Structure 1
Amino acid sequence: MARRDHRPRTATRRAGLAIAAAAGVITLATVSSGTAMAAPPDSFDPSVLGPVDPQSWENMDDMTWDDYVAVPGTDWANDIEGSERQFNGAIVLVDFENQPFLVTQPEGAHAFGDPSGLANGLAREDVPQFYLDLLNKPSELNHGRTINEYWMEQSGGRLSVQMQAFGPYQLPGNIEEYGLNDSFNKPNAAFCPQGESCDKNIRTDALALWGADIGSADPLTQFDQVFYVTAGHDESSTWEEFGQMLFEHPEDVTDDFGPPRDENGVALDQNGAPMANWAKTRYVPWTSWAAAVNHWPNANSPRNGRAGNSTQAESSGMGTYAHEFSHILGIADNYGNPYGTEAADGGPLRDTSGPFDILARGTFNGPGGTHERWSVPSVAGGSQPSGVGLRNRINLGIIDESNYLNLQESDLDALGSVVTKVVSRAVMRPGELTGINLVFDKPTAAAADDSTGTCTRQAKYDCDGGSFDNYTVEVIDRMGTDSFQPDHGVMIAKTKNQDRNPFIWTIDANPQDIATVDYVRPDGTPIMITRGDQRQLNDALFHAGNDSGSEYEYVDTANGLHFYVLNVERDAEGILAYDVAVRSTVSAGPQARGVDLGTATVKGNLAAMHGQAQANGTAIAQCLVPLTNTGAAVEDAKANNDIYRLATSIEGRGWSVTTPSSIVAAAAGSTIEVPVYASRGADADRDANVTITATSENDPSKTETITCELDAPGKAR
């Protein structure tokens, strides 16, 4: 398969942690404490002029298992007892009359090149235990990642998943008789071989074989959830890779990817006509017949005392199991057709929450990315899915109320603004917030970018459609099950209480086309990812500070809200956290606001700046400015801060000025120290004056300006 273009990596994951820790000397003081940062040395490294939280998103194509970062202090894969619920599940293995289990075949026996060298030639009777172990027993093959670990991490240890394996059972029919029976392939008379019945049901026939084996009239009443796993591939992971990525036109599909033919090379369809080597598929008009005959994974919810159950195949990665298990728990799909034409201009609609949630396309996450989900056994793309979004954790009841701030819109209006620290969602520890859930007093009639309320999903490709119930704010880090996210940062999303797609809508900090090659067609033509592709959101997360490549604030004018990403920190264990704020734009709150800027302390060897710049080409001075919140304190600690916007300018030829962040916060009565950096190029003026202004976001009438003089010693007056 052809690799896609991507933005270059700036560092390895672990190097990134070290850089972030080192950058702490220029990070603003923690807003909740008001503690000043340590005084810098007389000379400054040019890195202080760079962003404190640079965005450097990465395609999963180029990720490997070396990118996995464990959550410190946890061993969820080996912790098998959930504190609130332990799911008793079953995995039922079935093959077909014309498709044995791939892992029992020689390496590369299938037209797709499977099975791989990682597992092949197994005895058929060993297949159930093999897949049970691959899914839920930490091993070298699955890199220690299991479905139990996934749900224990997502629930903070509340929900565990244990299973038993059953089978193998052979279904009474060929693979195409079970895979060509859904709406993606119909009408299937032209794709189903003559003499076959392409209307068979995996669940019906598998349940009958399983029940007869264990002596139960209805095994679904004995388990909490059931995974039916079929021999071969699933269509989700093969329709594109063995369709338009491999063949230019449907007529180009070769016989080895087509239906089986008789000794005369003939295969007839249900109409008695010669069969083609292609068939219909879900998102686009055609794929190879060998890909189309595979079923599409799907799930049924629990009903009438019977377990929820789902269908998967040998190529289905752990992401598929986690996704379908989410359906079993009771949440619907939250994605669209990236190739559809629903929008008024004939293009596909924007994706909902991209790679950031398991009910969206986070199912595809894992080393190698979306086009590496077809191999057997599945330990690449799709094998390490996204975490569960805050909205879904709340709806599933797998997060404690103490782990997120639930804030009513009317309460925010009464308070004016709130400031709090939010920790990576990979970590749920007592006393730490992993998100904010801002609840509207009534569902929003208008979309965020459409104050008139006339925007609809069909009228504008990036319209969210309105009628949302909440905003969520959460921190995503490339750690734990989120290790294969394209980026770290803050996700701001609109959500609905009911599963009406889209029910999680990620705000895109970079809404422009991401301009990334998806794959290269057989004739050498590069195919760009569509505007409806989930990877358009690879750069959607918000970052702290200036010049990050992303944004540090978001304003929803229609709904009277302003979100801020104030500060970033990574502790000694590598846990990522952000200070964030939400402000009502319709109410400043009851408390008095105020600001005072003290006398700036100048740091830097100004004498060395005389004559010429330092050897590295730049001389740097720092104005360390005390900023005091002179406003009144309030009882509610989360509202006991004011948010300030900083503006800077400099007088002096050849000088420039910058701050790590243009937005800071300070608690009432506390003082923080704001670093402002002035840099002097060669042949610049000896002296310069830096002007710093701080203005309250809650009450813009509260503002103060000071001047910081940079006077080089020995200059004649």
Structure 2
Amino acid sequence: MLAASVVAALALLPIASGAQVVGPPPLDFPAPVDPQSWELPEWQTIEDYRPIPGVDWTDPERQAVKPIRAAMIFGDFQDRDFVVTQDAGTDVFGVDQDWADRVPGFDGPLANPTVGGIAREDVGEFYTDLIVNEPSEVNYGHTVNEYWLEDSYGLIGVEATPFGPYRMTGKEHEYGMGGGDAGGAGNQCPQGDSCGEGSLPIVGGLFGGFDAELIQAAAADTVTGMAFNAEDYDFRWLVHAGYDESGTWQEFGEIMFDGPEAVTDRFGPPAPVQQELGMCDSDCPNAAGTRYVDWTSWAAAEGIWSHAIPGVSSTQGENDGSAVFAHELSHIFGVLDNYNNPYNPGRSYTGPWAMLSRGAFNGPGGAHTRWQIPATQGASMGSHHMLRNKIRLGFTPPHEVLTVTPQVLAATGPVAADIFPRAYPLAPVTDDIGLHGIVVEFGDDQGSCSSNDLQCDRGGYDNYTVEVVDRMGHDSYTPDHGVLIAKNKTGVDLAPFMWAIDAHPEDINTVTGVGEHEGREVYDFVRPDGTRAAISLGDARQLADALFHAGTGEGVVNTWTDEANGLQFYVLTTEHDAEDPLSIGSYRVAVRSLDGHGPIDPATTVAGSTDTTVPLGEVATIEFDLANIGITDISRLSVDTALEHRLPYEYVEVAALGGTTVQVHVGLAEGSTGAHGVTLTATSELTGEAVSATATVVVTDAGATGQALPGLALVLPALPAGWLAVRRRP
């Protein structure tokens, strides 16, 4: 009777709203060894900077023995003073909170300049210190001198001496509208003005244009500086008042306005210019042409587009950060651009991973912050040069690169090597000795693809480079850590001459963020009408998830095969530890020929561990030993078992006349206890031969616990006192 009463009472217990019956908790498997972890640049903040462990390139003892010297020459216009001479927040270029809310991750100031009231005669010293010479609170302690020391492993430092400012003979739009580096909109040049590079009067025997005129204006002062100060200048940085059109055309074009007819007078030509525009009738348009798309605001279009003359000089605006100066100095050194028009068919070539591509846009807040003055966010912390260019510039010495050919690989078998991150210097800067990359010289490119294919690399390459990117130093604002594989051309810099292999070639708009950004939606910005603008298929951010990772896990890609050129690359293991700021995230990578491995085969065997016991609901780790008495092998692992299981690694290196131990994590959340077989199969990537071994795992019910039902409320009915007392019948 007692039992029946209890059962009846329990049967009447109410269940709280929202309660559901659930199964056992999921098994607590170890996390992947190297999970997918990319993020878009606009999601990054200044706190994402990570110092290089043990190396401080701002240390006076780390400076170059003889830095290269720049004459930094400043010029303003008849109608434009330097923006930093104005009071903070007073320039026409600014945004409202609605604009800021529509741009993902934007956390910058809404108006320019953020630092103002600089006297005109002090502008040169202010920008020279900000960009080149002096770490400060304004530049967060980072300069272009630091960048070049870091990128070159201490070989190159930069110092700059300011000259000017000098007043140009023309108005800003005369230099910034027209062909060439003016960026377009020559048809909206005011009547009576001359717009476009080379269209201004001849100055000092040179064709007009901002560059020629400013160099001529400063010639006497720079010569005097060399003569009386015993200073020589290796090149010139030319800095103009106002904005580089590259940093304004989108932000004050399609992000701010629904169309060219929606551009307001505030961003149209100034009133006197409106009256003078020869192509205007009663209504003067406030929009104008630009380089990548058909229109932007007139105010954005009148700026000069940053550019360089190899070996001579480069030209930048006030809103250009140190990454732009580093990018343009690369041109002065003779290395050319490797980027595409992001609004034409075709994928980005090397995206955010290369200084000569869109790595020049990197920095906290991403590309949509590059209009701010002074520049401390986007384009303030550019990426390193990729390995192909570091070799060309002499930064990476031959002993830090392993060079192989497919012919050698076909004769000797695969090679594997540990690769240090490219931002981390090796001996003699640190005590570490090793490699910064692998070069595979394959000769004539046998690949072919259709020009209609977004992923078509256009052919003509002759080598692969394999390097490691870790988010440290100026690589802190790359989108990910991992292994960067690229095809390259050794000869002329005819873009694309570097092509990053994309581990995830799918449209990045179709995925969501991972890791700490899990589930975060991906898009470029929200238009004023409320519709979302997707990241264009040619945008550099399509390569944010391009790196290869080690091990297994959702989204992890650990191998790349080039059938046409007979090569396969593997990412085997990593020492990366995102939780340890002192971790040097090296990777072990391998490459093999698809066309052979020489006369000796690998000979791999597998032995299973002894029996293992694991309670129901828990995870056990079992080990298998792989041994090899042949040449080095790459084994592909797979597991066959009724248990839930995880393989930390899919591919393992089994060294010649050596071996390795691999782990398999297994468990059972619910189901049959007792003995279960776990079979590991190792298949040779060289021969296709498979070997297997089986271990036994005994699942017990000891320690198994159920999971409390969420929302369950036990409400017992009122029962007389002493109802559980045992009563003896009389």
**Aligned position for 1:436:** 438
Q: Give how far 1:502 is off.
A: 1.0
Q: Give how far 1:674 is off.
A: 0.7
CA distance in 1, matches of 2:685, 2:446: 26
Q: Identify the range of structure 1 (231-240 vs 178-187) with the bigger mean alpha-carbon deviation.
A: 178-187
Q: Deviations over 1:554-586 (max 9, x none)?
A: 111111001000011137721101110001010
CA distance in 2, matches of 1:153, 1:387: 8
Residue 379, structure 1, aligned to residue 376, structure 2:
yes
Residue 416, structure 1, aligned to residue 403, structure 2:
no
Q: Identify the range of structure 1 (67-76 vs 112-121) with the bigger mean alpha-carbon deviation.
A: 112-121
Residue 175, structure 1, aligned to residue 172, structure 2:
yes
- Pick from 423, 426, 429 the counterpart of residue 423 of structure 2: 426
- Pick from 209, 213, 219 the counterpart of residue 217 of structure 2: 209
Q: How does 1:547-566 map to 2 (within 5 A)?
A: 547-566=553-572
**Aligned position for 2:38:** 57
Q: Secondary structure in 1 aligned to 2:270?
A: coil
**Aligned position for 1:66:** 47
CA contact (8 A) 2:402 2:437 kept: yes
Q: Give how far 1:592 is off.
A: 3.6
CA contact (8 A) 1:80 1:160 kept: no
CA distance in 2, matches of 1:47, 1:116: 51
**Aligned position for 2:317:** 313
**Aligned position for 2:23:** none
Q: Give how far 1:166 is off.
A: 0.9
Residue 123, structure 1, aligned to residue 119, structure 2:
yes
CA distance in 1, matches of 2:185, 2:194: 10
Structure 1 residues 117 and 94, CA, compared in 2 at 3 Å: closer, same or farther? Answer: closer
**Aligned position for 2:538:** 532
Q: Identify the range of structure 1 (288-297 vs 394-403) with the bigger mean alpha-carbon deviation.
A: 394-403
CA distance in 2, matches of 1:410, 1:225: 44
**Aligned position for 1:41:** none
CA contact (8 A) 1:102 1:231 kept: yes
Equivalenced residue count is 626
- Pick from 523, 539, 549 the counterpart of residue 529 of structure 2: 523
Q: Give how far 1:685 is off.
A: 3.9
Residue 369, structure 1, aligned to residue 366, structure 2:
yes
Amino acid at match of 1:704: V
Q: How does 1:584-595 map to 2 (within 5 A)?
A: 584-595=593-604
Q: Give how far 1:588 is off.
A: 1.5
CA distance in 2, matches of 1:554, 1:189: 47
Residue 291, structure 1, aligned to residue 300, structure 2:
yes
Amino acid at match of 1:560: G
**Aligned position for 1:623:** 622
Structure 1 residues 183 and 116, CA, compared in 2 at 3 Å: closer, same or farther? Answer: closer
Q: How does 1:388-427 map to 2 (within 5 A)?
A: 388-427=385-424
**Aligned position for 1:678:** 666
**Aligned position for 2:128:** 132
- Pick from 225, 232, 255 the counterpart of residue 245 of structure 1: 255
Q: Give how far 1:256 is off.
A: 1.2
Structure 1 residues 396 and 714, CA, compared in 2 at 3 Å: closer, same or farther? Answer: closer
CA contact (8 A) 1:601 1:625 kept: no
- Pick from 96, 99, 111 the counterpart of residue 92 of structure 2: 111
Q: Deviations over 1:480-501 (max 9, x none)?
A: 1110111111111111112121
- Pick from 25, 33, 57 the counterpart of residue 76 of structure 1: 57
CA distance in 2, matches of 1:83, 1:591: 50
Q: Deviations over 1:489-517 (max 9, x none)?
A: 11111111121211111111111111131
Amino acid at match of 1:239: W
Q: How does 1:190-201 map to 2 (within 5 A)?
A: 190-198=187-195, 199-200=199-200, 201=209
**Aligned position for 1:22:** none
Structure 1 residues 391 and 82, CA, compared in 2 at 3 Å: closer, same or farther? Answer: farther
Q: Deviations over 1:512-542 (max 9, x none)?
A: 1111310111111100011111111111111
**Aligned position for 1:30:** none
CA distance in 2, matches of 1:132, 1:268: 37
**Aligned position for 1:324:** 328
**Aligned position for 1:507:** 501
**Aligned position for 2:337:** 333
Q: How does 1:431-510 map to 2 (within 5 A)?
A: 431-440=433-442, 442-446=443-447, 453=448, 455-456=449-450, 458-497=451-490, 498-510=492-504
Structure 1 residues 576 and 359, CA, compared in 2 at 3 Å: closer, same or farther? Answer: same
Q: Deviations over 1:234-289 (max 9, x none)?
A: 10000000011111111111111111114xx9523245645311111000000000
**Aligned position for 1:650:** 641
CA distance in 1, matches of 2:499, 2:183: 32
Residue 597, structure 1, aligned to residue 591, structure 2:
no
Residue 541, structure 1, aligned to residue 525, structure 2:
no
Structure 1 residues 99 and 405, CA, compared in 2 at 3 Å: closer, same or farther? Answer: same
**Aligned position for 1:4:** none
**Aligned position for 2:693:** 706
Structure 1 residues 215 and 57, CA, compared in 2 at 3 Å: closer, same or farther? Answer: closer
CA distance in 2, matches of 1:82, 1:256: 46
Residue 582, structure 1, aligned to residue 575, structure 2:
no
CA distance in 2, matches of 1:67, 1:272: 49
CA distance in 1, matches of 2:306, 2:226: 22
Q: Deviations over 1:591-648 (max 9, x none)?
A: 3411121231455x53x33xxx2xxxxx21222111112215xxxxxxxx32111111
Q: Secondary structure in 2 aligned to 1:687?
A: strand
CA distance in 2, matches of 1:286, 1:627: 63
Q: TM-score with structure 2 length normalisation?
A: 0.82
Q: Secondary structure in 2 aligned to 1:706?
A: strand
Q: Give how far 1:423 is off.
A: 1.1
CA distance in 1, matches of 2:446, 2:555: 32
Structure 1 residues 528 and 77, CA, compared in 2 at 3 Å: closer, same or farther? Answer: same
Q: Identify the range of structure 1 (488-497 vs 50-59) with the bigger mean alpha-carbon deviation.
A: 50-59
CA contact (8 A) 2:410 2:597 kept: yes
CA contact (8 A) 2:86 2:113 kept: no
CA contact (8 A) 2:484 2:547 kept: yes
Structure 1 residues 712 and 465, CA, compared in 2 at 3 Å: closer, same or farther? Answer: same
**Aligned position for 2:99:** none
Structure 1 residues 75 and 239, CA, compared in 2 at 3 Å: closer, same or farther? Answer: same
CA distance in 2, matches of 1:299, 1:231: 17
CA contact (8 A) 2:421 2:586 kept: yes
Amino acid at match of 2:240: T
Structure 1 residues 104 and 47, CA, compared in 2 at 3 Å: closer, same or farther? Answer: farther
Structure 1 residues 662 and 118, CA, compared in 2 at 3 Å: closer, same or farther? Answer: same
Q: Secondary structure in 2 aligned to 1:628?
A: strand
CA contact (8 A) 2:183 2:304 kept: no
**Aligned position for 2:73:** 92
Structure 1 residues 185 and 322, CA, compared in 2 at 3 Å: closer, same or farther? Answer: closer
CA distance in 1, matches of 2:585, 2:225: 51
Amino acid at match of 2:78: E
Amino acid at match of 2:70: G
Q: Give how far 1:57 is off.
A: 1.3
CA contact (8 A) 1:80 1:161 kept: no
Residue 225, structure 1, aligned to residue 221, structure 2:
no
CA distance in 2, matches of 1:577, 1:660: 18
CA distance in 1, matches of 2:470, 2:129: 28
**Aligned position for 1:17:** none
CA distance in 1, matches of 2:549, 2:598: 27
Q: TM-score with structure 1 length normalisation?
A: 0.83
Q: Deviations over 1:149-185 (max 9, x none)?
A: 1111111111111111111111111111111132476
CA distance in 2, matches of 1:218, 1:83: 20
CA distance in 2, matches of 1:81, 1:657: 50
Q: Give how far 1:194 is off.
A: 1.9
**Aligned position for 2:107:** none
